[in-house]
Structure 1
Amino acid sequence: MSWIKTVPFEQATGRLRKLYDRVTGPNNNVDNIMMVHSLRPHSMEGHMAIYKTVLHHSGNTVPKWFLEVLGVWVSSLNRCGYCVEHHFSGLQRLLRDTPRGDAIRAAIEARRVEEAPLDTAQIAAMHYARKLTEEPGAMVEADVIALRDAGWEDGEILEINQVCAYFSYANRTVLGLGCSTDGDVLGLSPNNSDDPEDWGHT
């Protein structure tokens, strides 16, 4: 499950139990990426809040399935299999086009995202995500201008940036603490985008 101690759902009390109750999926399942925070519940609360607002908020205008594509891409670049598997499953559920999802994943794994079945603006976002993930110190204003020229509005560019930044954080949480998918239910997500406080996973 992880390289540090975690508190299982059945043993959780107090604030931790309240947080677990908010993030559980079917059969009281708590994803290991959340459970790894169990010794410091306040960090779980912070993690979940940014995850929900960055990826699952009604204020976003970039399609949620494409935000998941960016998450899978960043996670693949960071070699975080945990996040790749979780968010590829979520991507497939949202996209509802298995062959297209498989083709996107094949392009990601081959590191040839320009061959993915995505439009020109989305391909530009994938290039931005790669540079931000692999060479953050090399980012320049021209990288944002390229997104704008591809058709993204500045608010959408912010969404793209925040999803890339969130996944690098999540990847490092998982990789640095040895978090595995053992016992997890892949592909669940908080579907109530209208309520930032509703963290329930289905």
Structure 2
Amino acid sequence: MTWIKVIGFNEAKGKLLKLYQRVAGPDNNVDNILMSHSLRPHTLEGHMALYKNVLHHNANQLEKHWLEAIGVYVSLLNQCEYCVEHHYQGYARLINDNERAQKVRQAMERGQLSQVFQANEITLFEYAKKLTLTPTQLTENDINIMREAGYDDGCILEINQVAAYFNYANRTVLGLGVATAGDILGLSPNDNDDPDNWGHA
């Protein structure tokens, strides 16, 4: 599951148990990336807040499938199989089109985004790639490119936060050896602004 000790749902007590109860899916399943924080529940609480507000808050303006697509792309760039598999399944579920989802994933893997996305959409992925691989090379012009493609500054902020979050999550997973064994792939919280509402879909 991970390279470090984790405390499972049935062994959890106190604050950790309360946090697990908030995020548990069917049969009290807790994703391994979240359980990897179990020895320090305060970091789990921080991760949960960041994840839910960045990807699953109802105040986001971009459709959630775009945010998930950015997450899959960043995870592919970082070679984080765990996050790719989780969020690819989430993306496919959101667009309800497995054939389209497969084409998108293949285009991402081959670096051929123009086969599946419009030019204005590609600007978001190019920004996420640069933020992931060469962040010191970003300039204000990279923001202007997305503006010229039709995205306002709020949507640009959403893309920034999603790309930044996935870099954090990818490094959590890769640094601790988190694996998908036992996870239910593709589940995610419903969109809302209640930090305690993790009703899964």
Deviations along 1:132-182, one digit per CA (max 9) or x if unpaired, are 111001100000000000000000000000000000000000000000000
**SS at 1:199's partner residue?**
coil
In structure 2, what is the Cα distance between the partners aligned to 1:192 and 1:113?
27
Matched to 1:198, the amino acid is N
Partner of 2:26: 26
Contact 1:57 1:196 in 2 (8 A): no
Asked whether 1:131 is paired with 2:130, we answer yes
Task: Give distance in 2, aligned partners of 1:16 and 1:122.
Answer: 40
Rounded to whole Å, the distance in 2 between the matches of 1:121 and 1:197 is 36
- The question of 1:168 aligning with 2:167 is answered yes
Q: What letter corresponds to residue 162 of structure 1 in structure 2?
A: Q
- Alpha-carbon offset, residue 97 of structure 1: 1.4
**TM-score of the superposed pair, with normalisation by structure 1:** 0.97
What is the Cα-based RMSD across aligned positions, in Å? 0.9
Distance, in Å, in 1 between the alignment partners of 2:155 and 2:120 is 11
Secondary structure, aligned partner of 1:76: helix
In the alignment, structure 1 residue 89 sits paired with structure 2 residue 89: yes
Q: Does 1:179 align with 2:145?
A: no
1:48 aligns with 2:48: yes
Residue in 1 that maps onto 2:190: 191
| Alignment correspondent of 1:8 | 8
Aligned residue number for residue 59 of structure 2: 59
Length, aligned pairs only: 201
Q: 1:99 offset after TM fit, Å?
A: 1.3
CA distance in 2, matches of 1:81, 1:43: 22
Distance 2:196 2:178 in 1: 25
CA distance in 2, matches of 1:124, 1:151: 10
2: CA distance between counterparts of 1:71 and 1:83? 8
Cα distance in 2 for residues equivalent to 1:97 and 1:123: 20
CA displacement at 1:85 relative to structure 2: 0.1
Could you list the structure 1 runs, at least 4 aligned residues long, displaced by more than 6 angstroms after superposition.
Answer: none
Is contact 1:73–1:108 with CA below 8 Å preserved after alignment? yes
Q: How far apart, CA to CA, are the structure 2 residues paired with 1:89 and 1:193?
A: 21
Gaps in structure 2 of 5+ consecutive residues: none
The AA in structure 2 aligned to 1:33 is I
Q: Which runs of 5+ in 1 are unaligned?
A: none
Q: SS state of the match for residue 4, structure 1?
A: coil
Q: Which amino acid is the alignment partner of residue 14 of structure 2?
A: G
